[in-house]
């Protein structure tokens, strides 16, 4: 079973920031938080990951709480092309258990 919980769906107005929450209260000290998204009928796309510090790249920002029990993915200026299912996953990097465990994710709908 997935070790994360996310809202089933969210709406966001085009041009506004989309803030997607994720709870991972049982996260272990060596587990990273990864975010992927999946646009309809395509393979999942890697967005960002982090351990305990906040991270930013050209796609998004990742804010992880100090206790690491939750995180928020921020898309600063959502566009219609950001409509997708967003998955939050916790995982040890390079460990022997290599697989990602996907939950059902959050379906983000960006509206004009």
Partner 1 sequence: DTGVSQNPRHKITKRGQNVTFRCDPISEHNRLYWYRQTLGQGPEFLTYFQNEAQLEKSRLLSDRFSAERPKGSFSTLEIQRTEQGDSAMYLCASSSTGEGDTQYFGPGTRLTVL
List of residues contacting partner 1 (CB under 8 A): 2, 34, 36, 41-46, 49, 85, 87, 93-94, 96-105
Smallest distance from the beta carbon of 11 to partner 1, in angstroms? 19
Q: Could you give the dihedral angle defined by the CA atoms of residues 9, 12, 18 and 22, in that order, rounded to the nearest 10 degrees?
A: -10
Residue 94 and residue 79: Cα distance in Å, rounded?
Answer: 34
CB contact at 8 A, 50 and 65? no
The residue among 66 and 97 lying less far from partner 1, judged by its C-beta, is: 97
The residue among 16 and 93 lying less far from partner 1, judged by its C-beta, is: 93
The residue among 38 and 72 lying less far from partner 1, judged by its C-beta, is: 38
Smallest distance from the beta carbon of 92 to partner 1, in angstroms? 9
Token readout for 76 is 């600063």
Residue 40 and residue 17: Cα distance in Å, rounded?
Answer: 21
Smallest distance from the beta carbon of 61 to partner 1, in angstroms? 17
């Amino acid at each position: 079973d997935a070790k994360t919980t996310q809202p089933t769906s969210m709406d966001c107005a085009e041009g506004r920031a989309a803030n997607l929450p994720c709870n991972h209260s049982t996260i272990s000290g060596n587990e990273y938080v990864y975010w992927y998204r999946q646009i309809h009928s395509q393979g999942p796309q890697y967005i960002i990951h982090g351990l305990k510090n906040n991270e930013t790249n050209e796609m998004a920002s990742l804010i992880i709480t100090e206790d690491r029990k939750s995180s928020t993915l921020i898309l600063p200026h959502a566009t219609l092309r950001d409509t997708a299912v967003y998955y939050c996953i916790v995982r040890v990097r390079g460990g022997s258990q290599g697989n990602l465990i996907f939950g059902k994710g959050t379906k983000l709908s960006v509206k004009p």
